Structure 1
Amino acid sequence: MGDFTVAGAAVNVACWVVSGILIGWLFARRRWESFESPGPITTLRRCETRERYERFLRVRAWKDLLPEAGTWFGGITKRRLPTYAEGGLRRFAAESLRAERVHFTYAATIVGTLVWMRGWWVIVTLGFGFVVNVPCIVVARYNRLRIAHLA
């Protein structure tokens, strides 16, 4: 697949779409309470502060431009805080962690498709993985930082 072909493009796009939907669906099947504890990769670091995300990444300027897929497959939106009956801040933090894990998993899946790719397809795939996942991971981490002192 080093050379561009319509068939090669179709296979890659199909893999990206199917894996994205499947990962989202699988993560949505889990109860939100299972996302209350971050793991070694998703733990917020001391150097990560709300102010740094706002000042250096300017996250507040672009975060609302990203699509919100939290409602897909029966989840909740992260565009507003859940009510107390929906789980409140605990749920918001858990749903943000869920989103972060979905995008880390999707990024790993995209990198996995490099096994059969050659040439410029590698650059296209890595670029796609970066553009689709990194902003969503940044916003999910920022959301958790925003409410960390409240929860």
Structure 2
Amino acid sequence: MLTELPTWLTALLNVIGWPVIQLGWAWIFTRLPSRWFHPPRGFAWEAQGRLYERLFAVRRWKDRLPDGAAWFRHGFPKSALRSSQTDYLRAFLVETWRGELCHWAALASTPVFALWNPPWAILIMTLCGLLLNIPCILAQRYNRIRLRRLVEKRVTTSS
């Protein structure tokens, strides 16, 4: 803790901290050009998304996550597929990478809570950050693998 604040102010900063961080990063990332985002291929250990299905049951809960990008004018809604056109699927693929990086950026912001919190509260705020972001990261990775497979299938069948 770098500075000791009154308890009420510490609590207030903690309560508004994560929403401000999440929305701040989402606002920034929705304004970055799509050409900056080049989605990576899945790793072998992800087993074409089966890891996320078996270990985390992503398919069962991913649709319940909020879609923060849809809250911004330049955001790309990712709660559902709105088209089966290849260009749209490619754009969606890019947006899964943008979304994942946004959540990693939010997690990387966790040390800001060390400015006004004692060690035990930093741990709690870190756990909050993990609970807020890891499910979204898992869902983005799972969706990206599935979308890439769909895009590649469309490209090979149309060739």
Match of 2:35 among 28, 33, 36: 33
Task: Give the alignment's TM-score, normalised by structure 1.
Answer: 0.84
Which has the larger share of helix? 2
Q: Distance in 2 between matches of 1:109 and 1:146?
A: 29
> Where has structure 1 moved over 6 Å in runs of 4 or more?
1-4
Is the 1:82–1:91 contact (alpha carbons within 8 Å) kept by the matching residues of 2? Answer: no
SS at match of 1:79: coil
What is the aligned partner in structure 1 of residue 13 from structure 2?
A: 11
- Matched to 2:43, the amino acid is R
Is the 2:25–2:105 contact (alpha carbons within 8 Å) kept by the matching residues of 1? Answer: yes
What is the aligned partner in structure 2 of residue 145 from structure 1?
A: 145
Shift, 1:70, TM fit = 2.3
Is the 1:70–1:76 contact (alpha carbons within 8 Å) kept by the matching residues of 2? Answer: yes
What is the aligned partner in structure 2 of residue 107 from structure 1?
A: 107
Name stretches of at least 5 consecutive residues in structure 1 with no aligned partner: none
Q: Distance in 2 between matches of 1:23 and 1:86?
A: 28
Q: Distance in 2 between matches of 1:120 and 1:71?
A: 34
Is the 1:36–1:93 contact (alpha carbons within 8 Å) kept by the matching residues of 2? Answer: no
Is the 2:39–2:93 contact (alpha carbons within 8 Å) kept by the matching residues of 1? Answer: no
Q: Distance in 2 between matches of 1:83 and 1:62?
A: 22
Deviations 1:108-144, CA, capped at 9 Å, x for gaps: 1123322442132122111101110000000000000
Q: Distance in 1 between matches of 2:107 and 2:42?
A: 19
Name stretches of at least 5 consecutive residues in structure 2 with no aligned partner: 152-159
Task: Give the alignment's TM-score, normalised by structure 2.
Answer: 0.80
The structure number with the bigger radius of gyration is 2
- Matched to 2:120, the amino acid is W
Shift, 1:89, TM fit = 1.3
How many residue pairs get aligned? The number is 147
Q: Distance in 1 between matches of 2:64 and 2:14?
A: 26
Counterparts in 2 of 1:2-151, with a 5 A limit? 5-38=7-40, 44-49=42-47, 50-74=49-73, 75-83=75-83, 87-151=87-151
